[in-house]
Structure formats: C-alpha cells, structure tokens
Structure 1
C-alpha cells in the first residue's frame, strides 16, 4: 500500500498514512499538476479512464500525481510527466506556475482529496496522438483552446473535474496564455 506524507497548512510534514486513509479521511497531502500547452493556445487534458477509482471518465489536468515520501514536487512532476505521457523532460524544462491549496470531493466515491499542490507548465508542440497514455489511468488526451476553457458553459463544465475548471485554475490558464505570447 502506498504511503504518503501528511502535511499542515504550511506544507510541513506532520506524519504519514496510506493513500487510502488519507483520501478517506480528507487528510492534507502533497500533489503536483503539470499542464501541457502548445504555441497554438491549446491546453492538454487527460480523460480519466472509466476504471479509475475516482472522477472516472472526466477531463483532468494533463499530468497529476502524489508526491511520494522522500520525493519533492519538481522530481515528482518530471517523473509523472514521463509516466503519464511518455515525455522525457528535465526539471529545467518545467515552468513553475503556482502553489495552491485545493479541497475536492468526489460525490460518487466519497473520496476527499485535500492537497497542497504545486502547478507547473510544459510546452509541447506535437500532436496529442504522439503521446503515450499510461495504461489504466487515462482513456484519451486532447488539446482544448485556452480561450474555450476560460469560457466554458455550465453544460461543458460537467465534462471536467470541478477543481480544474474553477476560478483558481482560470488564473493558471491565464498565466500559461501569457507564456505563449
């Protein structure tokens, strides 16, 4: 069973527990997101597999993952980028965007995902079809125009995990849009 660090509001490690218990009890822990973008103004989303234990069949961040005990945020971001897309990048290739505190709740499973999250961006100008899906994790990768993401209708928002299309992430997408200019 995977164990993760439990952290306080200031991101200090205060303990550890299993991933299952952390999500069951809503304990604060560390995660990363890497948003892949292209020079055409697209942001890559992964469609979570229908077999996932949470948020199945919804659009999510390009890359996401838990920071394992002994790892740091950036190391995790580089590792997850390769695992989830096949992109072999170096730490210097990722652009740090922000740190955020997120609370998410999956009504279907009762999972509480309370995180301190570091968010990075990575420029990739190939096709989504060039990327390698991590088996069992995602069913598809697709680019969406940033301007479209910033103006989703309520109906369109249902295709996404709530927390990746909220106001806080709108700021992330606007920052990525600035990187493209």
Structure 2
C-alpha cells in the first residue's frame, strides 16, 4: 500500500476525480477515494487472507483480503491490483489472471484508530494454484497469510469473526464466497 506521505485522488460518488490529499488526511477526514482488493482462492476450496501488521494505521493485526491497496494518482483499478499483488505477495500476474467481480461503495470506521475508510473499491478474484508458503508477505505491512476453508468461513463463531476487519467478514466476504464457490 501507499505510504502515509503519498497523495491520493479524492473522488465523487461517480468516481470522478475532484481533488487530492495525503492518505493520512483522507482517512482522518473520511474523504472518498479509490481502492482495490484481490482475493486469492484455491482449488481446495480455501480463501487466503492477509494478516495485517500490528502497526498498520487502520485495522492493525486483523485479517483482510489477500491483497489491498489504494489507487495511486495516475493509475486505474486494474493497474493497482496488479502492482499491489506483486508488492504484497511476490506473485506477478497478467491482466487476464484476474477476474473482476464488482465495484462496491463502502464506508466504515476503525474502532481502534478512529479513522474512517470511505472508498469505492474494485474487487478482483484470483485462483492461486501454488502453495501458501510461496507467497512472500510485504515486509513491515503484512505478518503473513492464512488459508481458511470455505465451510469454516460460512460458519464462523463470534470469536473467530473478531480476527477479521468487521466490514470484510460482514459484507465483502459473503459476496466473494458466493462468487468463488461457482469456480470450485
């Protein structure tokens, strides 16, 4: 992901660029911006999650989509998805490797840091045919990766749900699972 010192585009509800500001300021003010998520799944019917570093400025030490990032100035969703996948997992993909799922509008507040993530997010899927230990976590940003079976994800206990970013487990994961199940 982009460092706190970097600037991002501010967008309107239609995704039109209306300004720019620093990433940190965008999250403090709850300004609308663009993000991507790439969800890795396996033929063994597992979803691979990223375990966020303990010092992340939003949702530290929680499980998140396999890859996530902000769309930088001058880039589009797909370019960002490919770039972030390489940076966060060490896997280089081509455009045709990703399946576009949909774009969602989401706004939530981190109860730990108080920051608001107000974004239009493009969601992509990728079938990872390798081993989870082939993924190389981006140093300082990701602790590691965890593979969870579909069946377990469909029946998470309240305690297990606390390991995930709330929006992920309550809204995005059900959408992603519904689609991934079609491919397995």
**Which of 15, 28, 34 is matched with 2:19 structurally?**
15
2:68 is the alignment partner of 1:56: no
Unaligned runs of 5+ in 2: none
The 3-state SS of whatever aligns with 1:166 is helix
Deviation at 1:152, TM superposition (A): 1.2
Deviation at 1:149, TM superposition (A): 1.4
2:145 is the alignment partner of 1:141: yes
Over the aligned positions, Cα root-mean-square deviation in angstroms equals 1.0
Match of 1:70 in 2: 74
Deviation at 1:53, TM superposition (A): 1.8
Match of 2:124 in 1: 120
The 3-state SS of whatever aligns with 1:177 is helix
**Which of 50, 53, 57 is matched with 1:46 structurally?**
50
The 3-state SS of whatever aligns with 2:119 is strand
1:112-156, Cα deviation, whole Å (9 max, x unpaired): 000000000011122211111100111110111122212212111
The total of aligned residue pairs comes to 180
Partners of 2:147 and 2:173 in 1: CA distance: 16
- The structure-2 alpha-carbon separation of the partners of 1:168 and 1:52, relative to structure 1 and needing over 3 Å to count, comes to closer
What TM-score, normalized by structure 2, do the two folds share?
0.94
Moved over 6 A (4+): none
1:2-33, Cα deviation, whole Å (9 max, x unpaired): 11011111111111111011000000000000
Match of 2:115 in 1: 111
Match of 2:134 in 1: 130
2:138 is the alignment partner of 1:102: no
Unaligned runs of 5+ in 1: none
Deviation at 1:168, TM superposition (A): 4.2
What TM-score, normalized by structure 1, do the two folds share?
0.96
The 3-state SS of whatever aligns with 2:182 is helix
Partners of 1:169 and 1:56 in 2: CA distance: 18
Partners of 1:96 and 1:132 in 2: CA distance: 23
